[in-house]
Amino acid sequence: MEKDQDYLSGLNPEQRAAVQQLRGPVMIIAGAGSGKTRVITYRVAHLIRHGVDSFNILVLTFTNKAAKEMRERINKLVGAEAKNIWMGTFHSVFAKILRVEADKLGYPNNFTIYDTDDSKSVLRAILKELNLDDKLYSANFVYNRISAAKNNLIGWQEYQGNEQIQIDDSSTGRGQLGLIYETYVKRCYRAGAMDFDDLLFKTNELLKNFPDVLYKYQNKFKFLMVDEYQDTNFSQYLIVKKLAAINENICVVGDDAQSIYAFRGANIQNILNFEKDYPDLKVFKLEQNYRSTQNIVNVANSIIANNKEQLKKHVFSEKETGDKIKVMRAFSDNEEGKMVSEEIMQQRSTKGMKWHDFAILYRTNAQSRSMEEALRKLNIPYKIYGGLSFYQRKEIKDLIAYFRLTFNPNDEEAMKRVINYPRRGIGDTTVDRIIVAADQNGVTPWEVVINPSKFFDGRTSGAVGVFATMIQSFQVITKTMPAYEAAQHIAQHSGLLKDLYEDKSVEGLNRYENIQELLNGIKEFSEREDIEEKGLDVFMQDVALLTNDDNDKNKDADTVSLMTIHSSKGLEFPQVYVVGLEENLFPSQMSLNSRTDLEEERRLFYVATTRAESKLTLSYATSRFKFGTLINCEPSRFLDEIDAQYLELDFSAKPQAAQSSFFSDEREAWSTRSKNSETFSKPKPQPVKTTAMLAKAHIPSPNFAPSDTSNLQVGMEVEHERFGFGKVISLEGNKPDVKATIFFKEIGQKQLLLKFAKLSILPK
């Protein structure tokens, strides 16, 4: 534990002030790289050091990884008291509360938590039963519709009773959504299961309908802290507000400039309007960026300045100025991949860096293809993040389904997954008959399974009976065996381990090794000293709530990281490449219909730029394949919003013959930008050239070569490789930002920034 007198000495004045404001409502606006996690952990430690019982502190995060890191840091400051803090993701904390209070809502305490795949499987079964078109009512669409309703606290009864919702559904030909929602909720309830959205929806229901429960937790959680508050949705906002209502010792930490999850329900208004809920709010702004160079921070600031809806702050860096931000132009998406890969290879070689020092960020997953191809050609190792996580692999889900069924035999999805894996003579027809028999007799499928002779004859009854006996034996052993031994027993006696071991293919070997890795994880869990309950059921509760970034066993591998910008939030890398900066790609075409959507895209760009520590590179292509068709692209308006003094343009790539006419005036569009705020706030997209316009393009002289323009004078005649011949009519500004106004014979007057414009000075 650090000494009392100096444990706050490492904080800057604003960080320290935020840490020392212990009571009342507090909002900490934390700019990118400003030491947010440090402030949260020190504030919790400061609470404990000033007499607050650690059992009365609730800290809510968005990833288990963040919670684990914070708890480890707090432990260094206050010791064992850190174990008593209620700290974790919204879903994990409220799942813990729901397991205690589940009976009030009619659920078993050992309810199953369905992941997205489970939920969609239930929905597919319902759609089949209702004979609905699975293209019109795709499981993905229906799942998202129900999820959005739950996050806005609209239950199936309210959904069916809301006239406007019904009109909207009917207008799209999906008038049965309300019925599907009702059937889905009842099916989950029958299975003793909650989906991820239920963990918040049911918590709201609990706090609303049971005042004694609300009062209990209001008095338990006397101090609340919420990380990444800008990412909260309506459901999360309401829970936090209710819990903090008595004491109002609530501290929210976040950055409105990094609110990028509206597509999954996050509401930026929660942080923008926080002061309306708490008029005596104390606000602290963490504005010093400790991560990035000055140039990177300046670029990020010039980007986000264009958003109207924001909490004003001035982020600054006291690190070195750093390299200018390079902007690379490619003539195709494949060439973009080649340029980025070669740049990474060169940077690693000359600066002695590791592969894991580099990250390539893109707006959509589809953009990874050209990057992957280029990296492979240069034998550069890479890893794509946000792909299939360890716990989503089939073999892992299979074994976990056995665990789930052992603790909750009413879990219909788990039963359907493993009742005939490994094969034991119970086909799909038998499974359908089990489900139908359960519906017709008003019982759960498990009750059919444990009484097979009532519903089946001969061989089928025997096979189902053997399966039921096996699961019942697992239920007995899990009550007496430690987690690891119980898991090992189930893996062996289910036949799963033997089935995988006998598959000698490469894939089979990998699957077998993955099962061993899962068992190793359970072994580690059972040996942890920071938890008291170590049963397999407790491990299962943790697994159900793991977020994608919590289970990467190859996270320390030396590879270039490829990921969407959304996946990169919270991460940092020495060198970052943001690719695909083109109109209709970034910003996305879907975001151009409203200012709200466009501002979220701009915040996404801000997040991308602030991942970089020492070097940031931006790139775009002037043509890209989309749905099998080569389309012309224009540079993103976001590039036009960056102050030119922080940029270094690399337009060295030469177009192929078939592409020579694409966007010939891009470079000059950059040069003619004004740096005043009016231009930044109203970027004008460049017009796409017609064939007739392109036909007028100037063909440079055979001996054309750019001249040194440092001594260019008014009256000189020049040749530009695209605009043709012209005469300098004025010069303004100071070096290196001198602008020349030139009258070109073919196109008229243009203003060019000399450090970028390639001009050949003609002899007198």
Catalytic residue among 21, 37, 547, 672: 37
Helix (H) or strand (E) holding 150: helix 139-151
Mean pLDDT of 297-324: 91
Read off the pLDDT of residues 419-438 as tens digits, 9 standing for 90 and up.
Answer: 999 999 899 899 999 999 99
Q: Residue 101 pLDDT more than 80?
A: yes
Name the region of 153 (left: φ>0; alpha: ψ -120 to 50; beta: rest).
left
The top-scoring range by mean pLDDT among 368-377, 520-529, 539-548 is: 368-377
Q: Residue 666 pLDDT more than 50?
A: no
d(CA 150, CA 130): 22
Helix (H, G, I), strand (E, B) or coil at 726: strand
Among this protein's residues, is 312 annotated catalytic? no
The answer to whether the peptide bond before residue 574 is cis (omega within 30 degrees of 0) is: no
Read off the pLDDT of residues 204-259 as tens digits, 9 standing for 90 and up.
Answer: 999 999 999 999 999 999 999 999 999 999 999 999 999 999 999 999 999 988 98
Catalytic residue among 15, 36, 89, 230: 36
Q: Residue 522 pLDDT more than 80?
A: yes
Catalytic residue among 65, 285, 338, 611: 611
Q: Residue 399 pLDDT more than 90?
A: yes
Read off the pLDDT of residues 153-205 as tens digits, 9 standing for 90 and up.
Answer: 999 999 999 999 999 899 989 999 999 999 999 999 999 999 999 999 999 99
Catalytic residue among 112, 176, 258, 609: 258
Q: 731 - beta bridge partners? A: 740
d(CA 303, CA 587): 13
Q: 326 - beta bridge partners? A: 617, 648
- Smallest CA-to-CA distance from 416 within 653, 121, 215 is with 121
d(CA 389, CA 333): 28
Mean pLDDT of 488-516: 88
The top-scoring range by mean pLDDT among 304-308, 531-535, 610-614 is: 610-614
Q: Residue 81 pLDDT more than 90?
A: no
Residue 105 is predicted with a pLDDT of 95
d(CA 218, CA 582): 49
Among this protein's residues, is 667 annotated catalytic? no
Query: How much of the chain exceeds pLDDT 70, in percent?
Result: 91
Read off the pLDDT of residues 599-624 as tens digits, 9 standing for 90 and up.
Answer: 999 999 999 999 999 999 999 999 88
Residue pair 159/178 in contact (Cβ under 8 Å)? The answer is yes
Among this protein's residues, is 228 annotated catalytic? yes
Catalytic residue among 118, 195, 198, 228: 228
Residue 644 is predicted with a pLDDT of 87
Q: Residue 532 pLDDT more than 80?
A: no
Residue 659 is predicted with a pLDDT of 35
Among this protein's residues, is 36 annotated catalytic? yes
Residue 556 is predicted with a pLDDT of 64
Q: Residue 542 pLDDT more than 90?
A: no
Please, which residues have CB within 8 angstroms of residue 416's CB and are 6 or more apart in sequence? 121, 431
Q: 225 - beta bridge partners? A: 59, 251
Mean pLDDT of 651-675: 41
Mean pLDDT of 665-680: 37
Mean pLDDT of 455-478: 92
Residue pair 231/51 in contact (Cβ under 8 Å)? The answer is no
43-47, 50-54, 653-657: segment of lowest average pLDDT: 653-657
Query: How much of the chain exceeds pLDDT 90, in percent?
Result: 54
Helix (H, G, I), strand (E, B) or coil at 268: coil
**How sure is the predictor about 10, in pLDDT bands with cuts at 50, 70 and 90?**
confident
